[in-house]
């Protein structure tokens, strides 16, 4: 007999089996859900719930949090990592307890970054475009081998470390920078002294850090100028890390060999939408999508069955723990 209730917002079709799996394993919890996003208007759907499980790129703004709090709901569990879209001041004022899922599958993102790194070096997009047109000549689409590259990894958390292993598997020389160094990696001599050293030495620069204020636009005109000619930038982390205009300039001038972008500073409302029969809303993104040396994916690095299952199950576990008054496994600092 259920004695508590969790309501989940914006449940996608691919998440539904995992919601049902969790529900079946927790007869003591009444689980309800909708495919709608959490907004001030839809919040009422959660009436009577003890907590909510959510994921969206749309802001959790003050009015939304207020609407939940007005119904006595202040336990909110995110199915993702990023918390930059939550009005934390309001959340604090209303006494919200929030959890996220910081580690759902580092391999999902690291693998995607590694695949795209190898693809950009082998110029696979340019080659596919030629093949599509019936041009089967080799030149000038010659590849660069991963083992010949110095791969610079910015951020050596869970994802950065898996990416390092994969790149080493390909035979690359890996160097790293992180403000918070991992003792094991330090012992093994991966770290360069400064991020500028990494920019100067690396052929491939892959970003695996959060978009905290100090990291915003870390890739800009000045830092690109420090990089080697023909460098490659890989951003499967957060769009805000990259000044996209600076990258476009560097692609135009030929300074950069290529750019991998799974995240984009203006992606909200554009990625994960079908634009086939509509006017595409972002000319700069459209231009990047159609360059042979730019690989755009719409924030899908995370999107694997393994990751999605973990995101759902861990978020529900967290919410349930908060409802039971226990310390959840992965609380978010509110405020
Ligand atoms: C996150 O977990 O914050 C991500 O970046 C993936 C998201 C699109 C679900």
Catalytic residue among 144, 161, 238, 309: 238
Above 90 in pLDDT, residue 2? Answer: no
pLDDT, tens digit, 9 for 90 and up, residues 260-302 = 999 999 999 999 999 999 999 999 999 999 999 999 999 999 9
Q: What is the pLDDT of residue 88?
A: 97
- Residue 267: active-site member: yes
- How far apart are the C-alpha atoms of 76 and 97, rounded to whole Å? 6
Above 90 in pLDDT, residue 312? Answer: yes
Q: Are residues 224 and 251 in the same domain?
A: yes
Nearest residue by C-alpha to atom 8 in ligand 1 = 299
Number of domains in the chain: 2
Catalytic residue among 111, 265, 267, 321: 267
Q: Are residues 152 and 289 in the same domain?
A: yes
88 neighbors 62 (Cβ within 8 angstroms): no
pLDDT, tens digit, 9 for 90 and up, residues 195-239 = 999 999 999 999 999 999 999 999 999 999 999 999 999 999 999
Q: What is the pLDDT of residue 23?
A: 98
Q: What is the pLDDT of residue 335?
A: 80
Residues 6+ apart with CB under 8 A from 242: 207, 217, 218, 219, 233, 235, 261, 265
Atom of ligand 1 nearest to the CA of 302: 6
**Which structural domain, as residue segments, surrounds residue 247?**
106-296
| 131 alpha carbon – ligand 1 mean position (Å) | 34
Q: Are residues 94 and 124 in the same domain?
A: no
Question: In whole numbers, what is the pLDDT of the chain averaged over residues?
Answer: 97
Q: Are residues 219 and 319 in the same domain?
A: no
Q: Are residues 67 and 44 in the same domain?
A: yes
Q: Are residues 257 and 210 in the same domain?
A: yes
Q: How confident is the model at residue 93 (pLDDT cuts 50, 70, 90)?
A: very high
Q: Is the Cβ atom of 299 under 6 angstroms away from ligand 1?
A: yes
Catalytic residue among 79, 112, 299, 309: 299
Atom of ligand 1 nearest to the CA of 263: 5
236 neighbors 262 (Cβ within 8 angstroms): yes
CA 102 to chain centre: 11
| 34 alpha carbon – ligand 1 mean position (Å) | 19
Q: What is the pLDDT of residue 66?
A: 98
80 neighbors 311 (Cβ within 8 angstroms): yes
Q: What is the pLDDT of residue 105?
A: 97
Q: Are residues 255 and 275 in the same domain?
A: yes
Identify the CA nearest to 285 among candidates 267, 303, 301.
Answer: 267
Above 90 in pLDDT, residue 57? Answer: no
Please choose from 15, 302, 318 the residue to mutate so as to test ligand 1's pocket, defined by most ligand atoms within 8 A of CB: 302
Atom of ligand 1 nearest to the CA of 101: 2
Q: Are residues 148 and 258 in the same domain?
A: yes
| 189 alpha carbon – ligand 1 mean position (Å) | 31
Atom of ligand 1 nearest to the CA of 238: 5
Nearest residue by C-alpha to atom 9 in ligand 1 = 80
Q: What is the pLDDT of residue 184?
A: 98
Above 90 in pLDDT, residue 84? Answer: no
Rounded to an integer, the average pLDDT of 26-54 is 98
| 92 alpha carbon – ligand 1 mean position (Å) | 23
Q: Are residues 94 and 113 in the same domain?
A: no
Q: Are residues 133 and 237 in the same domain?
A: yes
| 81 alpha carbon – ligand 1 mean position (Å) | 6
Q: Are residues 272 and 322 in the same domain?
A: no
Q: Which helix H or strand E contains 152, and what residues bound it?
A: strand 150-154
- Residue 147: active-site member: no
pLDDT, tens digit, 9 for 90 and up, residues 159-199 = 999 999 999 999 999 999 999 999 999 999 999 999 999 99
| 302 alpha carbon – ligand 1 mean position (Å) | 7
Q: Are residues 205 and 136 in the same domain?
A: yes
Q: Is the Cβ atom of 82 under 6 angstroms away from ligand 1?
A: yes
Q: Which helix H or strand E contains 8, and what residues bound it?
A: strand 4-8
Question: The domain spanning residue 248 has which CATH number?
Answer: 3.40.50.720
- Residue 299: active-site member: yes
CA 154 to chain centre: 15
Rounded to an integer, the average pLDDT of 64-74 is 98
Q: DSSP string spanning 267-314?
A: -TTTTTS--TTS--S-HHHHHHHT-TTEEE-SS-TT-SHHHHHHHHHH
Q: What is the pLDDT of residue 153?
A: 98
34 neighbors 11 (Cβ within 8 angstroms): yes
Q: What is the pLDDT of residue 150?
A: 98
Above 80 in pLDDT, residue 1? Answer: no
């Amino acid at each position: 007999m259920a004695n508590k209730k969790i309501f989940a917002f914006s449940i996608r079709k691919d998440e539904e089996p995992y919601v049902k799996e969790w529900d079946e394993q927790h007869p003591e919890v009444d689980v309800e859900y909708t495919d709608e996003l959490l907004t001030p208007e839809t919040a009422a759907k959660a009436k009577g719930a003890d907590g909510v499980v959510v994921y969206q790129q749309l802001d959790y703004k003050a009015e939304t949090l207020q609407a939940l709090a007005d119904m006595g709901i202040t336990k909110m569990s995110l199915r993702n990592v990023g918390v930059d879209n939550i009005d934390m001041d309001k959340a604090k004022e209303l006494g919200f307890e929030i959890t996220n899922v910081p580690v759902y599958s580092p391999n999902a993102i690291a693998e995607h970054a590694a695949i795209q790194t190898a693809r950009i070096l082998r110029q696979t997009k340019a080659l596919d475009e030629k093949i599509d047109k019936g041009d089967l000549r080799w030149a000038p689409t010659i590849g660069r081998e991963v083992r010949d590259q110095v791969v610079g990894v910015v951020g050596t958390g869970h994802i950065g470390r898996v990416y390092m292993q994969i790149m080493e598997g390909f035979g690359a020389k890996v160097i790293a920078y992180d403000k918070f160094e991992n003792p094991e990696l330090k012992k093994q001599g991966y770290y360069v002294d400064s991020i500028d050293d990494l920019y100067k030495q690396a052929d491939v620069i892959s970003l695996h850090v959060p978009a905290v204020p100090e990291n915003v636009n870390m890739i800009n005109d000045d830092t690109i100028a420090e990089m080697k000619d023909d460098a490659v930038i890989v951003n499967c982390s957060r769009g805000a890390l990259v000044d996209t205009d600076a990258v476009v300039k560097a692609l135009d001038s030929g300074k950069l060999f290529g750019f991998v972008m799974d995240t984009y500073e203006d992606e909200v409302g554009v990625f994960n939408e079908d634009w086939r029969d509509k006017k595409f809303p972002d000319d700069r993104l459209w231009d990047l999508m159609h360059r042979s040396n730019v690989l755009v994916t719409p924030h899908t690095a995370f999107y694997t069955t393994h990751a999605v299952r973990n995101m759902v199950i861990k978020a529900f576990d967290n919410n349930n723990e908060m409802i039971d008054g226990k310390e959840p496994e992965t609380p978010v600092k509110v405020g």
